[in-house]
Amino acid sequence: MKVVYHDIFRLVYDYDPAAAKGRIDCIIDELHGAYEFIEPDPAQEADLLLVHQPGHIEYVKGNDTLYRVALFAAGGAIKAAELAYRGEPAFALVRPPGHHAGRNSCWGFCWFNNIAIAIEKLRRRGAVNKVLIVDIDLHFGDGTDNIYEDAPEVSYYHLYGMDGFRQCLSVYTDCDLVAVSAGFDMHVKDWGFILRTEDYKTIGKLIAGHARKFCGGKFFAVLEGGYNHQVLGKSVKALLEGFDAGR
């Protein structure tokens, strides 16, 4: 399991909870020394255009600092996806998040849809075709869902509890790659009051086991939400431990 990260993600680029000071640090504190960190390159505008309309990109460019950080976030997701395609599971420790960003719109602290950009980068060059996106964030990833509403090769599933999650994995068995929108705000001490820290380890095991059974272990995850710094890092580590345990 590799962690894709760049120090630019420490910048406070906005005033929303995803950009809060210390949010990335609390995760690094838990993962440092346990996983290999790999630095990404920024995404190119051509990568953004795989998913987003030119007008939306120009809108984000209006905030230079935000745009620079967002390019690296998309680039981090691309790097994680490329590692996964080569059979090396990866976690993109990036921000801003992305699953609320559509082709020509954004909200919910998201600007570019990192996970969709990464998936399209692989799909357009023929590296993968059928992709399962599993979203474990508290909030439905409307941006991701809308981007792929007319693409039957890409299936988007939002977690609605552990039983539903197991049912999802039992249905989606035909894929070349599994991508995880890894939000942690469903935690009992975050906004969702639903999942415990140990539940993320179980989720990680299930996802990794599914990927190794049906698509040669090709899976990656990208950070989305999660705002309680006291539990966020521990939840991320639990998910990654589950990924490793699901061999």
Q: What is the mean pLDDT of the chain?
A: 96
Instruction: With cut-offs at 50, 70 and 90, classify the pLDDT of residue 167.
Output: confident
The answer, yes or no, to whether residue 119 has pLDDT greater than 90, is yes
pLDDT by residue (tens digit) across 186-221? 999 999 999 999 999 999 999 999 999 999 999 999
For residue 247, pLDDT over 70 is answered with no
pLDDT in tens, 46-78: 999 999 999 999 999 999 999 999 999 999 999
Q: Single out the catalytic residue among 52, 56, 100, 158.
A: 100
pLDDT at 170: 82
State the Cα–Cα distance between residues 73 and 230, nearest whole angstrom. 23
Annotated active-site residue 158? The verdict is: no
